[in-house]
Homo-oligomer: A and B are copies of this chain.
Amino acid sequence: MTIGVRRRMGVEERRQQLIGVALELFSRRSPDEVSIDEIASAAGISRPLVYHYFPGKLSLYEAALQRASDDLAARFVEPHEGPLGARLLRVMRRYFDFVDEHGPGFSALMRGGPAVGSSTTNALVDSVRQAAYVQILSHLGVTDPPARLELVVRSWISLAESTALIWLDGRRIPRAELEAQLVNDFAALVAVSAAYDEQLAALLRRMVEDEPADGPFADLAGRLVALAS
C-alpha cells in the first residue's frame, strides 16, 4: 500500500483497492470496530471519497465479504485425483489457512450480530456452504444425493465451521490436528449413517476403495479397533 503517493485511479480500480483495504481491516478486527475513517486513512484517501464509491460501511463490508467468499469457495476446488481422504485433507488445510488469515472477521461473521447480519451477508455465507457442498458431492461422484447423504454432508460442513470457530478461540489445539480430525470426522459420520442405510454403505465402500493401506483412514480404523478391544 503506497500511502502519500497519490496517483489517479480509475473508478473500478479504486473500488477494488478500497475493498482490499477494507477486507484486511474487517479480517483483523471485529467489523463493528472498524470505522470508515480508518478505511479512508488506510487507503490514503478522504472520508467523503470513500462515500463516493460506497454509500456506507455496510455496502463496503458486503463487497469485502463477497471477495472473501469467492476466495474461500475457490479454495474448495480440488483436482479429482488420488484418494478422497488426501483430497479432503488438502482442502481442510486451505480452509484453515483462510480462517487463520481472517480470524476475527470470520468469528464476528459466523457468530452473527447486528453489524454483520444483513440478508446479503447471510446469503454470502450460505453461498460458501453451498459451494463446499457441491464440491464434496462432485468428489463423491454423486449428482442426485439421497436425503441422508445431503444431511451428512451439510451437517459435517457446519461441524467444520464450529471446529474452526472453537480453534480461533484460544488456538489451544494445533490446527494440523484439527484438519486431520475433520477428515476423520467426515468418514465417521458417513460410517454412522452407512451402518443403517444401504445406499450410504455402498458409497462408503466406494470412498474407501482407493484409500491406501497406510493412509489416514486405515490408521484411524486400526486405532479404533485397538481402542475397542
Q: Is A204 interfacial (CB-CB < 8 Å)?
A: yes
Contact of A163 among B155, B184, B188, B196 (CB under 8 A): B155
A177 to B196, CA, bound (A): 9
Chain B, residue nearest A171 (CB)? B147
Q: Is A4 interfacial (CB-CB < 8 Å)?
A: no
Q: Is A173 interfacial (CB-CB < 8 Å)?
A: yes
Q: Is A74 interfacial (CB-CB < 8 Å)?
A: no
Q: Is A142 interfacial (CB-CB < 8 Å)?
A: no
The reply to whether A223 and B196 contact each other, CB–CB distance below 8 Å, is yes
Q: Is A181 interfacial (CB-CB < 8 Å)?
A: yes
The reply to whether B196 and A188 contact each other, CB–CB distance below 8 Å, is no
Query: A117-B113, A118-B114, A188-B188 are known contacts. Are A181 and B193 too (CB-CB below 8 A)?
Result: yes
The reply to whether B192 and A185 contact each other, CB–CB distance below 8 Å, is yes
Query: What mask results when residues 119 to 155 of chain A are scored 1 for a CB within 8 Å of chain B, else 0?
Result: 1001000000000000000000000000110110011
| A221 contact set on B, CB distance < 8 A | 228
Query: A111-B122, A122-B111, A195-B227 are known contacts. Are A172 and B147 too (CB-CB below 8 A)?
Result: yes
Show 8 A/B contacts (Cβ-Cβ < 8 Å), sorted by A.
A113-B117, A114-B118, A147-B170, A151-B166, A159-B162, A184-B195, A195-B224, A195-B227
A179-218 interface with B by 8 A CB criterion: 181, 184-185, 188-189, 191-196, 201, 204
The reply to whether B227 and A191 contact each other, CB–CB distance below 8 Å, is yes
The reply to whether B173 and A192 contact each other, CB–CB distance below 8 Å, is no
The reply to whether B227 and A204 contact each other, CB–CB distance below 8 Å, is yes
Q: Is A112 interfacial (CB-CB < 8 Å)?
A: yes
| A181 contact set on B, CB distance < 8 A | 192-193, 196
The reply to whether B191 and A185 contact each other, CB–CB distance below 8 Å, is no
Contact of A117 among B117, B173, B192 (CB under 8 A): B117
The reply to whether B227 and A201 contact each other, CB–CB distance below 8 Å, is yes
Q: Is A161 interfacial (CB-CB < 8 Å)?
A: yes
Please give me the 10 A-B residue pairs with the lowest Cβ-Cβ distance, nearest first: A117-B117, A158-B162, A195-B223, A147-B172, A188-B188, A155-B162, A112-B112, A184-B192, A188-B192, A159-B159
The reply to whether A117 and B119 contact each other, CB–CB distance below 8 Å, is no
CB A73 to nearest CB in B, in angstroms, measures: 19
